[in-house]
């Protein structure tokens, strides 16, 4: 185990304290998203391939806050919005939890979708507003990140061929920025391409990794990420960006040193849990299995030495 990985793992366990999960800030109330990312990071980076007590506690806590309809909110107190449901599904599956919460969570996800509306005639938007994905909050529009995470979680649970997942993939493909990459989910406004960002691009690339050869749009997006990550050291963007590249067999040879560099910045922060989780997830190709990625045939991963 690389030394930064051990340090990051130790720090994660330290900042959890006696809570069952991790909060957005150290000492804060446990919340679904940081708990899932921290626990997935611990799982992915565990050389023993075992579920440690902290991860086991986290999965039990998530089950305890799951609503009767299958959704999982932001935290115990914030039962809505329900976008973290996809995250919870990923941890339950990676940790080998009982199938019941997974089944209920998938049922909830498949019953919900972002609102759609007829394409505006004024040309203000450059994407198709009629394709439903998933929203951050019920009864609002579909956006990139919740759609990518829902697709990833449902695919991992065996729903890759479900019509909703196919529509989600269509939405992701439709929202790609013409020059490559994704942002929050708006590719063109008033005829101008908006700027891509590494984290949503990484998530989209993970969601689209189906074992096939990359489309031209995926190729452009991989090129964008490969260029961009050379200078990006914020943990969430670097972590998801590297996972996006790894999903298509394009992990840069310097990835490990970038992760090390980023972890040093993150360790003292009061909101380190989610960020360390992202870095640890990106440190191991096992994460791609947790995310249900089908790697392209013959893909070669660069060395992580």
Partner 1 sequence: MHPVLKFDPRTMTRREWLTAVGAVTAAGVGAAWLSRHWPQSTETFIGRTPNYNSSIRSVVLAGMKELGITRREIAGKSIMLKPNLVEPATEAPHINTNPIFIREVAEAFRSMDAREVFVAEGPGHCRDTYLVLDESGVGDLLRDAKLPFVDLNHDDVDVVRNAVRRTTLKTIYLPRSLRRADMVVSLPKMKTHHWTGATLSMKNFFGVMPGICYGWPKNVLHREGINESVVDIVGTVKPSLAIVDGIVGMEGDGPIMGEAKAMGVVVMGRQLPAVDATCCRLMKLNPARIDYLKLAADRLGPIGEFWIKQRGESIMSEAKTFKLLDDPQFAKYRA
Q: Which residues bind partner 1 (CB under 8 A)?
A: 24-25, 28-29, 31, 33, 74, 78, 81, 83, 122, 124, 135-137, 139-141, 143, 145-146, 183-184, 186, 189-190, 192, 194-195, 197-200, 232-237, 271, 274-275
CB of 48 or CB of 192, closer to partner 1: 192
Q: Distance between CA 22 and CA 20 in Å, rounded?
A: 7
How many Cα atoms are found within 13 Å in the side-chain-facing hemisphere of 1? 16
Residues 7 and 267: their CA atoms lie apart, in Å, by: 9
Cβ nearer to partner 1, comparing 83 with 248: 83
Give the relative orientation of helices 32-44 and 3-16 as an angle to the nearest 10 degrees. 140
Are residues 91 and 40 in contact, defined by beta-carbon separation less than 8 angstroms? yes
- Give the shortest CB-296-to-partner 1 separation in angstroms: 27
* Choice between 234 and 285, CB closer to partner 1: 234
CB 205 within 8 A of CB 225: yes
| CB of 235 vs partner 1, minimal distance in Å | 7
Shortest Å distance, C-beta 65 to partner 1: 15
CB of 185 to partner 1, least distance (A): 8
**In contact, 266 and 279? CB cutoff 8 Å:** yes
Burial of 203 (0-12, 13-18, 19+ CB in 10 A): buried
The torsion region of residue 125 among left (phi > 0), alpha (psi -120 to 50) and beta comes to beta
Nearer to partner 1 among residue 38 and residue 274 (C-beta): 274
* Choice between 31 and 281, CB closer to partner 1: 31
CB 283 within 8 A of CB 256: yes
Nearest to 119 by CA among 108, 109, 131: 131
- Shorter beta-carbon distance to partner 1: residue 32 or 93: 32
**Rounded least distance, CB 157 to partner 1, Å:** 23
Quote the least distance from Cβ 298 to partner 1, whole Å. Answer: 32
Q: How many whole angstroms separate alpha carbon 69 and alpha carbon 61? A: 17
- Choose between 200 and 252: whose C-beta lies nearer to partner 1: 200
Least Å from the CB of residue 228 to partner 1 = 10
> Are 144 and 204 a contacting pair, CB within 8 Å?
yes
């Amino acid at each position: 185990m690389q030394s930064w990985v051990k340090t990051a793992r130790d720090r994660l366990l330290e900042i959890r304290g006696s809570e069952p999960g991790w909060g957005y800030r150290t000492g804060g109330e446990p919340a679904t998203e940081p708990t899932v990312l921290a626990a997935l990071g611990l799982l992915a980076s565990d050389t023993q391939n075992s579920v440690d007590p902290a991860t086991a506690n986290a999965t039990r806590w998530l089950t305890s806050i799951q609503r009767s309809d299958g959704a999982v909110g932001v935290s115990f107190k914030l039962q809505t919005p329900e976008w973290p449901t996809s995250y919870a599904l990923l941890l339950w599956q990676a940790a080998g939890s009982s199938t019941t919460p997974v089944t209920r969570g998938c049922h909830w996800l498949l019953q919900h979708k972002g609102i759609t509306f007829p394409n505006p005639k004024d040309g203000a938007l450059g994407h198709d507003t009629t394709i439903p994905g998933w929203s951050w909050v019920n009864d609002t529009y579909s956006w990139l990140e919740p759609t990518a995470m829902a697709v990833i979680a449902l695919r991992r649970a065996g729903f890759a061929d479900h019509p909703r997942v196919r529509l989600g993939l269509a939405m992701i493909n439709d929202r790609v920025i013409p020059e490559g990459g994704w942002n929050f989910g708006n590719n063109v406004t008033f005829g101008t391409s908006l700027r891509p960002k590494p984290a949503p691009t990484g998530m989209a690339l993970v969601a689209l990794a189906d074992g096939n050869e990359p489309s031209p749009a995926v190729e452009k997006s991989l090129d964008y990420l490969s260029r961009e990550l050379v200078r990006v050291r914020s943990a969430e963007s670097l972590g998801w960006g590297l996972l996006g590249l790894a999903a298509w067999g394009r992990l840069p040879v310097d990835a490990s040193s970038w992760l090390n560099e980023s972890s040093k910045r993150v360790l003292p922060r009061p909101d380190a849990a989610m960020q360390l989780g992202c870095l640890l997830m990106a440190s191991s190709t096992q994460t791609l299995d947790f995310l249900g990625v089908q790697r392209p045939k013959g893909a070669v991963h660069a060395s992580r030495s």
